[in-house]
Structure 1
């Protein structure tokens, strides 16, 4: 099991406005098959020095290894990403005094009030589309990231279920139960 994952980022508002930074590393999910393979004893997964797989079917991982992977690696990683998205969602709904385009939007808005609207000669002259505030763009990005996160977690949980044995829970239930158990510790 790899433990060389990046530490959680320092959560400051500027972090959220970096689209690249907001797409927090998904290295656990992106490498789930090798992560799960690492939980298998080498003698069970590879035969001889050729290191060819013994079978084409994925082997079941021991229940204790699976549980340890979920509680020590997967769920904490998912929680860290959820914390980032929750923090950035709160930034998106807060006032943004450092918005570099605030003055520009205010000037555009004032100009729009002074425009002469003649919809007979130009049916679009009454339309004014102000530039979106960066907090509005951030809110949209957070919504999109949460949607992607759900899809990725569903895919990862399916692979974990195939390799560890289905336990009848969906990923949301399993993560909630882990959170509750973690709070009691």
Structure 2
């Protein structure tokens, strides 16, 4: 069984280093959610019933031997899946907070102010130069981080839905969706 993702040291520098942030999310998703089938297969006891030669004579559309026991699924969810989701949620929440906070250490803020002042003072004559009115201000790094967080949250939602549906297929249908189950798990973790 795979291990849950370990939490990175949360600092604004970690969030603004988009390569490190994306790498963490990619690796965490790869070890848990992207390889959910392999993780669930690892829970099965190999050759539990032995080989039956008759099993190869007809194609079986359903796989009764591939269904996991409920206690195996619960253990996987409690020990691997939900802790990985929790670490990623904490990182996404922290970095979203950094993206909405003022950034006094922005190295490009002075350059943006100079470019904005230059653009305001520029003479625009679109008759002589149709492109003279164009000005594309530089994006602040907090704005860029906020856009990245929106995208990563959407990706996370899709990945969790897919993981939960595969978990439901292999472990039996669950009456609750992924987010309420995860929220209930987090509530129990906060109490303990």
Q: Same fold (TM over 0.5)?
A: yes
Which residue pairs with 1:13 in the alignment?
12
Which residue pairs with 2:55 in the alignment?
none
Gap regions ≥5 residues in structure 1: 49-54
Question: What is the Cα deviation at residue 139 of structure 1?
Answer: 0.2
Which residue pairs with 1:165 in the alignment?
172
Question: 1:32 and 1:79 mapped to 2: Cα distance?
Answer: 17
SS in 2 for 1:182: helix
Q: Does 1:104 align with 2:111?
A: yes
Query: How many pairs were matched up?
Result: 179
Q: How does 1:78-97 map to 2 (within 5 A)?
A: 78-97=85-104
Question: 1:83 and 1:132 mapped to 2: Cα distance?
Answer: 25
SS in 2 for 1:44: coil
Q: Does 1:38 align with 2:42?
A: yes
CA contact (8 A) 2:103 2:142 kept: yes
SS in 1 for 2:173: coil
Question: What is the Cα deviation at residue 82 of structure 1?
Answer: 0.6
Q: Does 1:176 align with 2:176?
A: no
Higher relative contact order (CA 8 A, sep 6+): 2
Question: 2:50 and 2:176 mapped to 1: Cα distance?
Answer: 31
Q: Does 1:134 align with 2:133?
A: no
Which residue pairs with 1:115 in the alignment?
122
SS in 2 for 1:43: coil
Question: What is the Cα deviation at residue 176 of structure 1?
Answer: 1.4
Change in 2 beyond 3 A, CA 1:168/1:31: same
Question: 1:107 and 1:90 mapped to 2: Cα distance?
Answer: 27
After the TM superposition, which parts of structure 1 deviate over 4 Å for at least 4 consecutive aligned residues?
Answer: 45-48
SS in 1 for 2:143: helix
Question: 1:84 and 1:125 mapped to 2: Cα distance?
Answer: 42
Q: TM-score, normalised by structure 2?
A: 0.85
Gap regions ≥5 residues in structure 2: 53-59
Q: Does 1:75 align with 2:74?
A: no
Question: What is the Cα deviation at residue 62 of structure 1?
Answer: 0.8
Higher helix share: 2
Question: What is the Cα deviation at residue 2 of structure 1?
Answer: 2.0
Question: What is the Cα deviation at residue 180 of structure 1?
Answer: 2.1
SS in 2 for 1:42: coil
Change in 2 beyond 3 A, CA 1:13/1:47: farther
Q: TM-score, normalised by structure 1?
A: 0.88
